[in-house]
A and B are shown apart, each in its own frame.
Chain A
């Protein structure tokens, strides 16, 4: 089967700066792919390009076999924005039901999505009165509720306690096992080990696209944090000098 996401030389400029410098990669179906990189490296921008809300300066993004942003992809792709994007003046349940209805799903689906993110007890609470972590889970419920084929999650586990984080990751793997593809971003490396595949991004360039084991092997260390550091150093001594000059010039 074709890959869930294929990027070819994807270039994105934001403001007057180049944010993505020709990214090429492929994410197969039915995996949890981690998009890892420090803050400001371009994770959100890449995800926006995948869901089709980002103006792209060059290259192509193909999602589920169609150009990113195609109208029919809107019922097949779920997107969790980095900042929780739910209505603060509605309850958790009302939010979930609204986003469920947009995808042609019913109330039972909404209730299940709320339970899946551990918000069952707060379903009747106004989102505006939730804690930060609860609010981002409410937002997550709204991204899962349409049962999309591709789920793009921008830092879904930030601010969650360790138990909940583990639960969410096992939920992601359940979904992947059922054939759903997940692209999950994070800026903390300890989440990298939980992914089936890793995309490591730094200053708008991809420095690794492989399984966690292969990344460890390539860097020659067992710790992913350390592996990431070595790959960064390697990329800087190689193409890094010329790239750095090009990046800062404009």
Chain B
């Protein structure tokens, strides 16, 4: 890996994103619209005293979802394009190391995810009075980490897609089970044993638990840090797998 090549590759990916104004606008506006929707869905539900309101519970987890879902899709398509347009083949004949490309994507779209999470969080805290015991900085940090995890998974999955249609199909395969089993819909300790076992090996479960820890505790807890470490570890593992799917030579 070469810091200069990593930097120019990250810059190149961000520049591509910047040229696509509509995508940038959607990236920032869609979470806001969905948060608004959820806010009004639960606006008339009386909060039971001593319990967090339903909106707070859902909005906090949603802040982690947005970058995860969006960056997974964006990365899968971007990497697939690199493969189908031949730019990947050409890059692999240059001094660029595989890690420069993979980490370049991780940093660029991780940053994009962090900005998305920051904008959505600002809206949730200021406009919709989201209330968390812990600081909003931790929420954004965990959301950005989710983005990096999603980029790593997207880089890996794109190796198994030949077309955009196929790449999009990996969304429900990779993302949907993690959303369903992460503990938002049914608390994890109320699930059947085998569902809990599946949930235990899905990284998003830990990201959600970390967000819930921030929601419930004023100071970062040991559980939160452990969860953050698990998500980061999963991202590194997915990047290593993605590197293994990148072959300089092909048939």
Contact = CB atoms under 8 A, between A and B. Distances in A.
Contacts, number: 77
Interface string A53-71: 1110000000000000100
B48 interface: no
B96 interface: yes
B251 A94 contact: no
Contacts of A126: 19
Interface string B1-22: 0001100110010011001100
B96 A102 contact: yes
B249 A53 contact: yes
A98 interface: yes
Contacts of A85: 85-87, 89-90
Contacts of B249: 52-55, 69
Interface string B55-87: 000000000000000000000000000000111
B45 to A, nearest CB: 44
A69 B249 CA distance: 9
Contacts of A15: 251
Contact of A103 (B87, B95, B250): B95
Interface string A64-82: 0000010000110101010
B49 interface: no
B92 to A, nearest CB: 6
Given A52-B93, A74-B95, A102 B251 contact: no
Interface in A11-50: 13-15
A205 to B, nearest CB: 20
A18 to B, nearest CB: 12
A89 interface: yes
B85 A83 contact: yes
Contacts of A51: 93
A75 B8 CA distance: 16
Report the contact-size class of chain B (Cβ under 8 Å from the partner).
Answer: 20 to 34
Contacts of A83: 85-86
A85 B85 CA distance: 6
A52 B248 contact: yes
B94 A146 contact: yes
Nearest to B23: A89
Nearest to A19: B251
A15 B16 CA distance: 34
A228 interface: no
A101 interface: yes
Interface residues of A, number: 33
A55 B250 contact: yes
Contact of A88 (B15, B85, B93, B94): B85
B89 A81 contact: yes
B87 A53 contact: no
Nearest to B11: A98
A90 interface: yes
Contact of A102 (B19, B94, B250): B94
A88 B85 CA distance: 9
A53 B94 contact: no
Contacts of B89: 53, 81, 85
Given A83-B85, A90-B12, A102 B248 contact: no
Given A15-B251, A55-B249, A89-B20, A102 B93 contact: no
A172 interface: no
Contacts of B95: 74-75, 102-104
Contact of B93 (A13, A77, A87, A98): A77
A86 interface: yes
B87 A79 contact: no
Contacts of B19: 89-90, 126
A101 B15 CA distance: 15
A101 B16 contact: no
A200 to B, nearest CB: 25
Interface of A: 13-15, 51-55, 69, 74-75, 77, 79, 81, 83-90, 94, 98-99, 101-104, 126, 142-143, 146
Interface of B: 4-5, 8-9, 12, 15-16, 19-20, 85-87, 89-96, 248-251
21 contacts: A15-B251, A53-B248, A53-B249, A53-B250, A54-B249, A54-B251, A55-B251, A74-B94, A81-B89, A84-B86, A85-B87, A86-B87, A90-B15, A94-B12, A98-B9, A99-B94, A101-B4, A102-B94, A103-B94, A142-B90, A143-B90
Given A54-B250, A81-B90, 4 more contacts: A85-B90, A87-B16, A94-B15, A101-B5
